Structure 1
């Protein structure tokens, strides 16, 4: 078994670094754009008078970065070559995501809104995998360029992690479907052209089959944003929406009638391994900065780095990063070789442990940096607040552990879920 990264991937990381130094850092330093990353970041990013949504100036700056990254050939890296990409693998994306996050906060990568110069556009991959020819013709170009976007309407106020009990329903009415229900934590709806709504169309609560995905334009009559939920980490774009007699045509069905849950599971596996890699990179950043600070800081005339009380916690975190990195690389490589659903157990392992590790590393960095670490003049509180979210929103730690237990004790099997492919 060869643990060396492919030489072309190593070269690409250097190419990314050169692009960041040449184009992204100068943009970050221009026109006081650094306000979005220094101690003013939360205020600068948040439109407090518009429901806590991201400020327009912040989102416009991110859009400019995407345009530059696309022009340089980076934004679409993970996409098929036919759509302007480089056929990026899961392993390559995991390595890249960790690499960018390990550089710290910046316009090159800001995980608060999944922004990166190498796009993590799972929506495009889902359209290529499950979209009808008409949906692909409508969506692929805009998704690839980062100029169009659809949100994911999965979670409900009364049904969080258990999507099989969702109350949102869709019933046929002639050639149309009529949707009723509500969704919460519907991230990004404020800029979305459509919302991928998951609704029960057959079966009973608790059934895995009978859930259908619908691409619903956000301007459809009856689609209403009730509020944006303020969170531990601002700004917020997490909406609570309601659907009241929302009528869509048959062409809005995404992935086939009754096969929506398979789309969800595919999305989760693709996204979770990349998100785990980002959390690993952020954790390593916290460790790297803490080691650097401990070498420089000399209270009572002695370097902090000489004290075992400083060394040992960082040694444990650094060791966990190294072990997690090996598992992430192996899992991503296995996804490339054996398929998205072949390593669901390992994806859950990577995800819940990476998110927990990142929070622990950020907390330790705050402690080592003392009062400065607690302030917003260092990035650790921001990293903690953001990555604390992923211990819930990427499938709670408990759900991930339950999945692992299902495989461990034989209650689940690692195979493609029923309904992923047409019979």
Structure 2
């Protein structure tokens, strides 16, 4: 169980320079079996890598287990009001509201051209710079894109100190996995302070909308405030907490995955070349009289692009596992997981199964051509599972696909330095990836 309070957290946070499961988990599975008990982030937890038991727990959502926000509950969902947001009925209602804004219909009708525009603007801006550090540059783009869509966030109208991107920087590195020690100087304390600033910013947004309701209407925060808030009996603070959670979730998933895509493409030029062939084909197949904007049909035709995204997601689920808490005693293999005990359901172990993914530590997008839909649904869960599957799965895929389309059709780039894979315990990049990017000459479609 490790040290008092800290438990074995420090061992879990030791960096591993392999895309495989973190050694902390692998070593304990070898010693104790697929289900073991430990202490992490100030909590005693049961960690399970057992495929059948994990499947059972996911199906038991709302019955014998419930969602658990883990050690950062007081950062994201402070107090009793925050805890109320985890009620199953409320989460189900919120999913429906979210899907009306970030589901396939909204992507097709509203978001696709917005995403293409900001991706083009971002790449053009990068091309004017000597080099670009991808991890934080991508994070800023993602924050601004979805902040604008969710509630009209416009960084150009804010001073440097008012912009929220810098307050999310800690989360991008190690803020989600830290010892919950709330004293000045700790990562946990910094996260709480930064989120208070984001909360204050969104509080001002809400106040502005109350003063001038005629200026706004129809976006995500507007629907949360006007529809979900009264129907679910939510306070304004709870609506703000929901908005912060949505913004952070979108930011984390897309910024980390896109940064890793840059890393993998730099290391595998044959993958980049096949992407170019696919996307140049999309341009060639366009009717000369049609719009030059990316269409829904074109997005849906990006087969190899989806293979690349899938393969990157296989390596990089946003969290080391699903977090759940037992609602009642759960018997398993002669033992009992007591009611109230936290659990880490290690779903990433599915992605490293050598029986499903040959040479699982090798980045190989072509493997997805031979995987059937049943196998994929069973052994590929980058966006969680059960009732808690992320409602942002479709919007993440559309954004990543759109960025790749802009990148490979309009620009060329090369890695300058950096980009070492590191897992502690989530997969990321040490030292980022520094690239030099330039616009593709229009006169030569084969330029490299």
| TM-score, with length taken from structure 2 | 0.28
Q: Higher RCO, 1 or 2 (CA under 8 Å, sep at least 6)?
A: 2
TM-score normalised by the chain length of structure 1: 0.29
